[in-house]
Amino acid sequence: MSGYVLVLGGTAEARSLAAALVDRGVRVVSSLAGRVRAPRLPVGEVRVGGFGGVDGLRAWLAREGVDAVVDATHPFAERISWSAAEACAAEGVPLLVLRRPGWTARDGDDWHWVSTVDSAAAVLPGYGSRVFLTTGRQGLSAFASLDLWFLVRTVDEPKPPVPQRMRLLLDRGPYTVEGELGLMREHGIDVLVSKDSGGRLTVAKLDAARELGLPVVMVRRPAVPDVGRVGSVDGVLAWLIEGGVLRFS
């Protein structure tokens, strides 16, 4: 018997999960927030845009009759994660969070953990004056008043306010260590700012910072709802099968 799964997506893991489910004859709707102009689309059905908060998501779940929801959003997309937890609990729909593991410091790393992007901006002047800022286009306003030079890398053009002294690089991963080393050397970078997004697509910047002996201001992941969580697509498939939510034909 095939089933029906809503995947809250936007990540490489979400795309891999959608492909695995479609291969098994499961109907999948992947929901994307719509914040990226040209997102990488998964296989299966795709919807773009928010649900309208908890009430909107509850109404969608009730209308669609999905068998399960998998929250495979970015580790820092906390709003939709909390909305999904509340909506699924209210509607009695099984929910699982798929999160890739965060990064772990290695020998030679000089990481300085902070709780928020605002906290990163507050401590940044103590670590350098030429910053490689890789926290995404949302939250750039936190750095707008700093008298530092920034290399800002985002997927899409950010909206002001943004740092006054910056070079904008529109790009998306995967990145290589050689490429990241080249960027940092070319622009005289002396500090890196990153979110603890985890994964392989963007980890090269951390390897490059380690090789160059640069400090890294690392933003911790936000708190997540107290729901089941796995770190891989295989973990989701096992939950769907062993938990009796779906049986694949």
The residue ranges of every structural domain in the chain are 4-101+223-242, 110-219
Quick check: helix, strand or coil at residue 217? strand
Same fold, 4-101+223-242 and 110-219: yes
Residue 95: which residues within 8 A CB-CB, separation 6 or more?
A: 68, 69, 70, 71, 84, 85, 88, 89, 227, 228
Return the residue matching tokens 């009730």.
62
Predicted TM-score (pTM) of this structure: 0.86
Class of the CATH-defined domain 110-219:
alpha beta
Domain 4-101+223-242 fold is: Rossmann fold (3.40.50)
Per-residue confidence in pLDDT tens, the chain, 249 aa: 468 999 999 899 999 999 999 998 899 999 998 666 667 889 999 999 889 999 999 999 999 999 999 999 999 988 999 999 999 999 999 999 999 999 999 999 999 999 999 999 999 999 999 999 999 998 999 999 999 999 999 999 999 999 999 999 999 889 999 999 999 999 999 999 999 999 899 999 999 999 999 999 999 999 889 999 999 999 999 999 876 666 655
The C-alpha angle with vertex 42 and arms to 176 and 224, in degrees rounded to 5, equals 80
Residues in the chain: 249
